[in-house]
Amino acid sequence: MTLAYVPGDSLAHRLDPRSKLLVQAGFAAAAYAYTTPRGLAVLTLLAVGCLRLAGGGPRDLWGYRFAAPVLVIAPLVAGATLGTPWFRLDRAADTALASYRVLLILVVAAGYVRSTPVRDSRAAIQRTVPGKPGQFLGVGVGLVFRFLPLLKRDLLTAREAVRARGGEALPVRHRMRLVAVAGINRAFSRADRLGTALNARCFAWNPTLPPLALGREDYPALAVGGGLLLAAVVAVIA
């Protein structure tokens, strides 16, 4: 699966993007406030619930697999010591919990990305953050979501091109360099062409944005998001 919107009629698809953004923010705050295994167990249920409400499943997390090496290696690095005992389990466990929190946030983000068209995200941001900063943020979010899948495809194409000519026999470091250089070159020319395409279609900082309206279904979501934020604040104060 990709990091992209998937049209559908799930509950999350019907929610206003502002409600979903509040739930995301509340979830992220709670994940950093409640670091115990019990707290993370509750948040796990909540994260899986968010993804399911967006009609998603484990396959949607495949798009985030590039983060996996960092999340896995971080506890190993944190636990390693330069002398005896060579590895400290307590440090590794703390970092593993932190990695797990990041994973949970990615699960909730996957539900958001899957259920929210980019232009709705842009509208939500521009209406929440007034003026130029909101326009700038909204455009930035739109371009990132458009550009990331293309960048990923360019890197995969570069990797296939290396493989197609026997590049698999090369040392990993050499292969990484080839893919990175070719991928970055492609990304720059891709960015140029995307810029031209935006110009050709009269790119505007303040276009007609889709209408947003909070409905009955949004109130529980707002309550969950607000509740999570409140719980995070209470936990930090306590």
Determine, following the binding rule CB under 8 A, whether residue 211 of this chain makes contact with another protein.
Answer: yes
Q: Binders of another protein: how many residues, by CB under 8 A? A: 30
Among 164, 199, 213, 237, binds another protein (CB under 8 A): 199
Listed ranges 98-106, 114-122, 169-177, 220-228: which one lies at the site for another protein (CB under 8 A) = 114-122
3-state SS string for 181-235? HHHHHHHHHHHHHHHHHHHHCCCCCCCCCCCCCCCCCHHHHHHHHHHHHHHHHHH
Sorted by sequence, the CB contacts under 8 Å of residue 26 that are 6+ apart come out as 224, 225, 226, 227, 228, 229, 232
Ranges within 3-22 binding another protein (CB under 8 A):
4-7
Least distance from C-beta 181 to another protein, angstroms?
20
Least distance from C-beta 200 to another protein, angstroms?
5
Determine, following the binding rule CB under 8 A, whether residue 148 of this chain makes contact with another protein.
Answer: no
Torsion of CA 31, 222, 145, 63, to 10 degrees: 50
Structure tokens at 2: 């990709």
Q: Can you give the binding site for another protein, defined by CB under 8 A? A: 2, 4-7, 117-119, 145-146, 149, 190, 192-194, 196-204, 206-211
